[in-house]
Amino acid sequence: MKLIFAIIHDEDAHGVMDELNKKGFGVTKLASTGGFLKSGNTTIFIGVEEEKVDEALSIIEKKCKSRKQVTTANLPPTNITEGYIPYPIEVTVGGATIFVLDVDRFEKI
């Protein structure tokens, strides 16, 4: 058995969970925060038999879009400016960041 962790955009969460449930996958959703943008995203985890991993990943790929987001970075002070100077940078977020882990043991009691 495998455990899929997928970090996705909040706006894609409902669509991807609906589709996974429709195809018989069990899904749990966690509210998470990206370390770089410091803004909310969604982490879903799915326990799945090894032969179904590719099907789950293709659903995630189909339902999760990549997006451009703008954040602010800081230029360090120079000898003609005081303090850090903020400037905008654009990053591409997602579709999804995915980890697939081995599961040693799975039980429902």
Give how many residues touch ligand 2BA by CB under 6 A.
Answer: 11
The H or E element spanning position 32 is strand 28-33
Phi, psi (rounded to 5 degrees) for 63: -95, -10
Q: Shortest Cβ distance from residue 19 to ligand 2BA (Å)?
A: 20
Shortest distance, CB of residue 24 to ligand 2BA, whole angstroms?
26
**Residue 42 lies near ligand 2BA (rule: CB under 6 A):** no
8 A C-beta contact, residue 75 and residue 85: yes
The residues binding ligand 2BA (CB under 6 A) are: 7, 34-37, 41, 91-94, 97
